[in-house]
Each structure stands twice: as C-alpha cells, then as structure tokens.
C-alpha cells in the first residue's frame, strides 16, 4: 500500500510509514471512515429526494384543499336546491294524509250506520 502522507510504497500491514513516520489508518479506522461516508451519502440522497418531492406534496395538498372546497360548495348548493322540493313534497304528503284521514272517517261512519240497520 501507499503511505497516506508521502505516498511511498510500504507493507500492507505497516502501522507507520518507514519514510516519513506517518501513522497509517488501521482496517477498523478505514471501515469506520467508509461507513461514515456511506451514511453521509445516504443522507444526502434522502435530502435530495425530500427536496424533489416537496413541490409535488405542496401541489397535492393544494389540490386536496381545492377539491374539499368544491365538494363543500356543491353540497351547499344541492341542499339549497333541494330545500323547496323537500318543502313541497312535505306539503303534498301532509295534504294526502289529511285527505286519507277524512276518507277513512267517512267510511267508518258509513260502516257504523250500515251496522245499525
């Protein structure tokens, strides 16, 4: 391997450089450094993904809000349009019920009269 300081060719298991005396990183240290680099790279990628997804998320939130507002407006309009229909239907039903009651009473009187004879 090469010295990390002066670049001289030194044995793979040398802990110090025979030419400049620089301490060479152990395998453990090199692994730890590699691990830190991988973690930093992963964090950078995650950050970039989040950054890239942010506008889409904002757009989706805006669309969802608009949809909810439209839904609310449509529901309010439908309720307003249905109100007279409901009122009229109720009136007609009440009238029909009163008429049915009158007819039933009259029929009952006729039945009573017929029974007396």
Q: Residue numbers of the site for Zn ion (CB under 5 A)?
A: 3, 5-6, 8, 17, 19-20, 22
Record the tokens describing residue 86, joined without a space.
């409901």
- What's the CA gap between 56 and 45, in Å, rounded? 18
Tracing tokens 């993904």 back to the chain, one arrives at 49
CB 33 to Zn ion: min, Å: 18
Residues 8/2, Cβ–Cβ less than 8 Å: yes
Largest CA distance in the chain: 140
CB 13 to Zn ion: min, Å: 15
- What's the CA gap between 101 and 114, in Å, rounded? 20
Residues 16/24, Cβ–Cβ less than 8 Å: yes
CB 21 to Zn ion: min, Å: 7
CB 57 to Zn ion: min, Å: 52
């Amino acid at each position: 391997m090469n010295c990390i300081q002066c670049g001289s060719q030194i044995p793979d298991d040398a802990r110090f450089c025979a030419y400049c005396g620089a301490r060479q990183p152990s395998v453990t240290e090199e692994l730890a450094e590699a691990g830190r680099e991988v973690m930093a790279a992963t964090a950078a990628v995650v950050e970039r993904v989040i950054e890239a997804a942010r506008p889409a998320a904002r757009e989706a939130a805006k669309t969802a809000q608009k949809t909810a507002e439209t839904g609310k407006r449509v529901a309010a309009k439908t309720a307003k349009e249905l109100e007279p229909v409901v009122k009229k239907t109720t009136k007609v039903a009440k009238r029909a019920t009163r008429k049915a009651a009158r007819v039933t009473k009259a029929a009952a009187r006729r039945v009573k009269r017929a029974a007396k004879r």
